[in-house]
Structure 1
Amino acid sequence: MGFDPGSGDDRIAMSSEAEYPRSVFIYELITGGGLLSVAESPAPSGSLLQEGTAMLAAVVEDFAAIPGTSVTILRDHRIEPLSVAANKQIVVRSAQEEHETFVEAVRSTEATLVIAPEFDGLLLERTQWTEAHEGRLLSPGSDFVELATCKWKTYQHWLAAGVPTIETYFVGDIASWHHLRNLPVVTKPRDGAGSEEVVCWKMGKQVKAEVEPNEKILIQPKVCGAPVSCAVLGSGGDIVPLPAGYQRLSKGFKYHGGSLPLPEPLLERAHRLTGQAIRSFPPFNGYVGLDMILGPCPDGTEDVAVEVNPRLTSSYVGLRLLLKNNLAQSMLDVAAGKAFVPQPGCGGVDFEIH
């Protein structure tokens, strides 16, 4: 795809086609009342609330900046009113009210963008709510989401497709990962979001001694290299990669932001792996991200895909600072088959998620 730069430094690259939605429902689960449906869930807090709020504020501002576009969001009654540019901020007080209000928002707007963590099937369920009521999704459909939200299914899919990834086993199948008993390993939930419940162990035998065998937790060898993410915009079977960047992670794998873009040789490797990994998935419209590790070998032979984020990711916050393009408008342009190329507006961006 190409892009007509138009007005140069202007962030808004407007298209006037009538088919573009002018009312958008943007749903972010942590701020939007989704945790009300999770049994014994406390009020939204911590890193998920920080990341959710940052993503929501950024994408709402970008859609609201498109002339003639109105934005609707939901808000969990247990958090303070959100400082975002939405035209409507609807408060929800129960799981039933969240579902009913979600459906009404889908019906009363022209397009829906679903942002939710992958655990407990929450993202898949709300994607299916949208599809059941014939909403126009600006995020991946349920076929894409169902595959991407399960790390085990993703691993098996990539193996079959020849995508380089990390060998993965169920913690409960001890015989299959016996060779990792004296090596550094990582455990993670099969449907976790981001770094939630990801644990690094000095040796696999610690896991055998301390983690109860089950089919909910996966184990992988720890892979050395640079943690990197790359987002893409999709239009059916076509994708447009955005600038990839480093992820800033704490020792406990908590995500704190990153820096964009990668140096050119690494950027080429990241885009190559992203294209291979994402194109193996079902066609989609909207924005998704790939987490990967770029290994120490300069030719990229040790690079591995880690997981797909079938939704808007925290890197959106940094990308919108790096690019002159309005990313919300870009999503619409790419989904409509319009020519587009990312336009960096500065040399680089370091961003933090607080």
Structure 2
Amino acid sequence: MSRKGVGGGGRAGAMRRVFVYEYLSGGGRLDDDPQAAAELMPMGVAMRDAMVLDMLCAPDCAVTVATCAEAGTNPPGAACTSARPGETPADFVGRQARQHDAVWLVAPETGGLLGRLAAVVEPARWLGCTPAAIAVASSKRATVEQLHARGVATPLGWRDDPAVRRWVVKPDDGTGAIDSRVHLERSAAERDLAARPAGSGWLEPWVEGEALSVSMLCHDGSADLLSVNRQHIAVDAEGALHFRGVDVNVVPADDARRPALAALALQVAQALPGLRGFVGIDVVWHVPRGPVLIEVNPRVTSAYVGLSASLGRNIAAELLDGCAGEAGHG
């Protein structure tokens, strides 16, 4: 395993200073959606702690983690820091980036937040996807349209299929299952879409099948499939979608579905340039068509929690060394 310094300033064997920032547990706010913030904070803390633990176990790493009072207990072993009074998340991240060799960051794509935070970090220090890839993945419409046009199986393949029995309306720019609704009739879905602010929603056929996610490490158009995870998605009596958690690494390497899922992961990495580091894709396994891409998460997802232990490999160390050899935002 290489111990090359990140950011161009390291030397072989030098201590690498890594700043870990998860938006909510690092003091960020979702002022326009307190319900979403309350729902996402526990997942944010879990992701933060898993990321910090793995980085602390990587060779020659000193870790600083962003914290806030609302996040509760701080992860042990890392130096903790908080934003200054009145400091914006972008200013906080930019200040910390200048003091560290690498920045590993998780934030919602909503409202362009993740992209703005990526933009304040020097490319060679950024352990994530390029701003251009983040911009595409931040829009559900842009993601499925671009990937569908490049031959990836998406719900757009069902647009004119008379066998479709349900449709889903979701925020084009949104996190998780929040504010997404399933309808039994297309006309009802179209009314739902029309009732939302212009351009804010996205309607697509509901693909029947098992809800999965694929965790992968991406570098320069390649995709190393790490795990296939089972998502627990509930639809209530009103049609509202609810995310109930994820079971990590539940599809073993010898499962007959793995080759098709690995092929889909590679297709996505090649069809959406700039995917870099840890990336999650949401997939439905449709019988008989196989895996269908629903959306791309250009960042760490909740499936990261427990993944290194499950695989017996330190994903953070691999990500750090892999990104050290790349040009960053280029």
TM, length-normalised to structure 1: 0.79
Q: Match for residue 247 of structure 1?
A: 231
- Give yes or no for the alignment of 1:101 onto 2:92: yes
3-state SS of paired residue (2:307): helix
Deviation of 1:86 after TM superposition, in Å, equals 5.3
- Asked whether the 8 Å contact 2:218–2:275 carries over to 1, the reply is yes
Determine the C-alpha separation between the residues in 2 that align with 1:327 and 1:302.
Answer: 27
After alignment, is 194-203 or 255-264 more displaced?
255-264
Root-mean-square deviation (Å)? 2.8
Provide structure 2 residue ranges, at least 5 long, that are not aligned to the other structure.
Answer: 5-10, 236-240
Which residue number in structure 2 is paired with residue 174 of structure 1? none
SS at match of 2:118: helix
> Aligned partners of 1:253, 1:40: CA distance in 2, in Å?
19
Is 1:70 paired with 2:62? yes
Q: Quote the residue 1:162 is aligned against.
A: 151
User: 1:36-64, CA deviations, whole angstroms, 9 ceiling, x for partnerless residues?
Assistant: xx545549843311211111100101101
| TM-score, with length taken from structure 2 | 0.84
Corresponding residue SS for 2:251: coil
Structure 2 matches for 1:24-103, cutoff 5 A?
24-35=18-29, 38-40=30-32, 42=34, 45-77=37-69, 79-85=70-76, 87-92=78-83, 96-103=87-94
* Structure 1 residue 97 displacement after superposition: 4.4
* SS of alignment partner, residue 120 of structure 2: helix
Query: What CA distance in whole angstroms lies between the structure 2 residues aligned with 1:70 and 1:44?
Result: 32
Give secondary structure in 2 for the equivalent of 1:99.
Answer: helix
* Per-residue deviation, residues 258-299 of structure 1 (Å, max 9, x unmatched): 1423151112221111111222111343111111111111xx
Within 2, Cα distance between the matches of 1:94 and 1:227?
Answer: 42
- 2:319 corresponds to: 331
Structure-2 residue corresponding to 1:216: 200
- Give per-residue Cα distances to partners, 1:126-173, cap 9 Å, x unaligned: 011114xx551111110111111111111221122111101299xxxx
Counterpart Cα distance in 2 of 1:229 and 1:48: 18
Match of 1:277 among 268, 272, 280: 268
- Shift of the alpha carbon at 1:206? 2.3
What displacement does 1:229 show? 0.9
Mapping 1:143-222, distance limit 5 Å: 143-167=132-156, 183-211=165-193, 212=195, 214-222=198-206
Task: State the 1:68 CA deviation.
Answer: 3.0
Q: How many angstroms does 1:178 deviate by?
A: 9.9
Does the 8 A contact of 2:260 with 2:290 survive in 1? no
Amino acid at match of 2:27: G
Amino acid at match of 1:244: V
Q: Residue 33 of structure 1: CA displacement?
A: 2.1
How far, CA to CA, are the matches of 2:73 and 2:132 in structure 1? Answer: 32
Cα 1:201–1:323 shift into 2, 3 Å: same
Task: Extract unaligned runs of 5+ from structure 1.
Answer: 1-13, 170-176, 339-354
The verdict on how the C-alpha distance between 1:66 and 1:30 changes in structure 2, with shifts beyond 3 A counting, is same
AA at the equivalent of 1:33:
G
1:245–1:296 distance in 2 versus 1, CA, 3 Å:
same
**Separation (CA, whole Å) in 2 of partners of 1:286 and 1:273:** 17
Number of residue pairs aligned between Structure 1 and Structure 2: 310
Are the structure 2 counterparts of residues 95 and 129 from structure 1 closer, same or farther at C-alpha, using a change threshold of 3 Å?
Answer: farther
1:303 positional shift: 2.6
Pair 1:314-2:302 in alignment = yes
CA deviations 1:78-110 (Å, max 9, x no partner) are x04433135322223655343332211100000
CA distance in 2, matches of 1:249, 1:179: 24
Query: How far apart in 2 are the matches of 1:271 and 1:99?
Result: 35
CA contact (8 A) 2:215 2:226 kept: yes
CA distance in structure 1 between the partners assigned to 2:304 and 2:231 by the alignment? 12
Specify whether residues 104 and 247 from structure 1 end up closer, same or farther in structure 2 by C-alpha distance, changes over 3 A only. same
| Distance in 2 separating the partners of 1:74 and 1:27 | 5
